Amino acid sequence: MASSVNALAAALARALLSRFLVIHAHRRRLQAGSAFGPSSEEVAIALRGELTELGPDADTEDARVAEALAALRTALADDRFAPLARLVRVFWLDKIDLAIVAVLLAPELDPELERAFTFALDDFTKKRVDLSFLGRLIGGREEDDIDRVFARLDDTAPLRRHGALALSTPTENTPASMRTVRLADRIVAFLRGHETVDEAVRGFVRVSHEPAALAAVVMDEAKIAQIRRALVGSGGAAPRVVLAGPEGVGRAMLVEALLAEREIACVRIDLAAVGNDPRAFELINAALREAALRDAVAILDGRDAFKDEVPRGVGQAIAEGAATLAIPMVFTLSVRPSWLANAIPELVELEVPAPSFRERLELWRRELPAPLAKPEDVETVAARYSFTGSTITRVARRAEATARLREPNAPQIQLDELSDAARLTFSHRLGTMAQRIPTGFKWADLVLPKDTMDAVREVLRFARYKPVLLEEWGFAAKLPYGRGVSAILSGPPGTGKTMVCQLLAHELGFDLYRIDLSQVVNKYIGETEKNLARIFEEAETSHAVLFFDEADSLFAKRTNVTSANDRYANLEVNYLLQRMETFDGVTLLATNLDQGIDEAFRRRVRFSIAFELPEAPERAKLWRSMFPPQAPLAPNIDWETLARQFEMAGGYIKKAVLRAALSAAEGNRAVTNADLVEAARLEYREMGRII
């Protein structure tokens, strides 16, 4: 049917050419006062016998043009999926536009018509028609009709605005009306029925041929139904929808699956990739044209590239495309930017949240079924990491590859392998304001009183069961903010606060970052808040555990305002209070001066763990635990006497152990009790204590 439509388009072009030659010949005869110009026989030869009788009156030719145009429009109505019919529909073309396309398409389909146009131009050096000729050819006899054709050839009219026409480059010595014009190569290929992608946009435009089934999408059913209704639109207008949410939640995949149910194609446009290109306006226009030519939905993926502002070319192309193209448009962005709502007044904005714990668990189970991974380990990582579907797939494949290297025949992924694979996906950009602290300890190395150890375990229990409490048991409604894992660790130096932070981070499967307060606190007004904002935002996206050591210097009690400095210092503390409440990650604060922390922080921090100086039994365990198994020890070391004689925290005991080991290594012998006593005495002296 498409070929017959093209044949009717060629017939319209012949009728227009016939009328033009009649009018042109008649005018030349009138100007010369005699028969002048091409004869009827010459015109018939030029059109290969299509015309048998021209006659002096153009009324007959007007009727032929009207008849050819009516036949073409009837065919387009009967076959609305023919390429030319689709072009008319999605570009909102009128009958003048249709005639322009027919005239420019005809020589592409029939070389003989190209020669006929050359004959009509009376210039055999020209291979293409110009704007002036095209206006007179289609406009006919009346100047008003010719002007209307010129208006549809303007750069603001649909055909030029959407890049359907290609014009020659203007020169100083050539009038604008003499610029040659043709159909763009992509439009010619489309009208010929060639399914291809414009080479100018192949790098960031992808046609979705095999969308995922709806069953593959893990998302709340109510949210799926809401998005389905939005894609249908209302009042017959093409829907304009933005789906805002974290990357990887399956927004585009869901849209493709929902539209596949209705046999509607999708064209994916990587909006972020083209955003800073100086040709952004032209490229986005060409990309939207690809969707229009396929009668498809355009999915524009901007991710988090345009949160606050957008390059002018991008915004302009999107606004014009939404106003002039009869195609649905779906935007997948991390936020709902105001610039997009301003560009598209009829925009429907929907939030697509990150997957819940149960949804994450289902995604993990699909990627790592038993026996590839233990069900309890899968549940642990689902609770531990707030990953989206695409990240879960990537982590699962990486962990599986590691397990197959270890055990090719019967791989089973261990929890540590899952945690390592997860940490590799984090891209920390904390820069100079934080330092990563590696974990080199095990829980067996930790020696704490029972009450302190119970408090540490409570932090771990809350982190592990937080998704269940908030999502399954409904506590999220009771905790609109302050859902993060936060703890103050207070106590004298060397009592194990930093070690506990390292072990907590390792147990949670996250990286520990110590905040460098010298890089955060800034003397200029507002800069400290900006630095803190960057830290918290990055920690939320990268699952970093924030460790504020010597937190009393930053989280100090607010003071009475007696100067401008006091007022701005209090502003910093107030900002921290607000940011701590909205942070859903893990924050650990260590301080040696428990009384220096602002009371408001205590109310907002979920756990408070007090570290006391160890008693003699704990000190004896610490002395023993500091030695690795391969270190040579004399058999007669009196651990209990060492513990009773020297009242030291674990940090000082570690230093004393290293001192004693150094003395023994220098003498190439085992560490003796005397080495340990001497090392402890030296540490005591450095502590300012005498024994």
Q: Which of 590, 610, 630 is the last residue of a domain?
A: 610
371 Cα distance to chain centroid: 34
Residue 318 inside a domain? The answer is yes
Residue 433 inside a domain? The answer is no
Alpha helix segments (H runs only) across 468-553: 497-508, 517-520, 527-542
Determine what percent of the chain is predicted with pLDDT higher than 70: 87
Residue 458's pLDDT is what?
94
User: For 160-173, what is the mean pLDDT?
Assistant: 85
- Same domain flag for 16 and 83: yes
How are strands ordered across the β-sheet holding 485-490?
434-437, 511-515, 544-548, 586-591, 485-490, 607-610
- Same domain flag for 630 and 654: yes
What CATH number corresponds to the domain at position 639?
1.10.8.60
User: For 448-469, what is the mean pLDDT?
Assistant: 90
State the Cα–Cα distance between residues 185 and 164, nearest whole angstrom. 9
Higher pLDDT, 36 or 468: 468
- Same domain flag for 546 and 669: no
- Same domain flag for 386 and 342: no
- Same domain flag for 100 and 162: yes
User: CA dist 386 to 4, 111, 422, Å?
Assistant: 56, 63, 11
User: 296, 265 in Cβ contact below 8 A?
Assistant: yes
Q: Which of 141, 171, 191 is the last residue of a domain?
A: 191
Q: Which helix (H) or strand (E) holds 316?
A: helix 312-324
User: For 435-446, what is the mean pLDDT?
Assistant: 82
Please, is 610 exposed, middle or buried when counting C-beta atoms within 10 Å of its C-beta (0-12, 13-18, 19+)?
middle
Helices 564-582 and 527-542 pack at an angle, to 10 degrees, of 10
Tell me the whole-structure pTM to 2 decimals. Answer: 0.75
Residue 397 inside a domain? The answer is yes
Residue 590 inside a domain? The answer is yes
Q: Is the pLDDT of residue 96 over 90?
A: yes
- Same domain flag for 210 and 314: yes
Helices 389-406 and 357-367 pack at an angle, to 10 degrees, of 40
Question: For residue range 298-341, what is the model confidence (pLDDT) as tens digits?
Answer: 999 988 878 777 888 888 989 998 988 888 999 999 888 888 88
- Same domain flag for 641 and 528: no
- Same domain flag for 507 and 594: yes
State the Cα–Cα distance between residues 656 and 494, nearest whole angstrom. 12
Residues 6+ apart with CB under 8 A from 261: 214
Residue 676's pLDDT is what?
92
Q: 164: closest CA among 191, 194, 140, 145?
A: 191
- Same domain flag for 624 and 568: no
- pLDDT band for 32, please (50, 70, 90 cuts): very low
Question: For residue range 584-616, what is the model confidence (pLDDT) as tens digits?
Answer: 888 898 888 766 666 766 777 888 898 988 889
Residue 155 inside a domain? The answer is yes
**Domain range enclosing 93:** 2-191
Average pLDDT of the chain to the nearest whole number: 83
Q: Which of 570, 591, 610 is the last residue of a domain?
A: 610
Residue 631 inside a domain? The answer is yes
What CATH number corresponds to the domain at position 254?
3.40.50.300
3-state secondary structure 219-253: CCHHHHHHHHHHHHCCCCCCCEEEEECCCCCCHHH
> Residue 217 gets which letter from DSSP?
-
Residue 157's pLDDT is what?
92
User: 267, 291 in Cβ contact below 8 A?
Assistant: yes
- pLDDT band for 456, please (50, 70, 90 cuts): very high
Residue 138 inside a domain? The answer is yes
Residue 292 inside a domain? The answer is yes
Q: Is the pLDDT of residue 46 over 70?
A: no
Q: Is the pLDDT of residue 670 over 90?
A: yes
User: 358, 472 in Cβ contact below 8 A?
Assistant: yes
User: For 381-401, what is the mean pLDDT?
Assistant: 90
- Same domain flag for 104 and 180: yes
- Same domain flag for 33 and 125: yes
Give the number of domains in the chain.
5
Question: For residue range 615-639, what is the model confidence (pLDDT) as tens digits?
Answer: 898 889 989 988 988 999 998 899 9
Residues 6+ apart with CB under 8 A from 152: 94, 96, 97, 100, 158, 159
3-state secondary structure 326-365: CCCEEEEECCCCHHHHHHCCCCEEEECCCCCHHHHHHHHH
Question: For residue range 566-590, what is the model confidence (pLDDT) as tens digits?
Answer: 444 455 667 777 777 788 888 898 8
Residue 424's pLDDT is what?
81
Residue 556's pLDDT is what?
56
- Same domain flag for 11 and 60: yes
Question: For residue range 352-384, what is the model confidence (pLDDT) as tens digits?
Answer: 998 999 999 999 999 998 888 999 999 999 988
User: CA dist 277 to 311, 336, 561, Å?
Assistant: 9, 23, 51
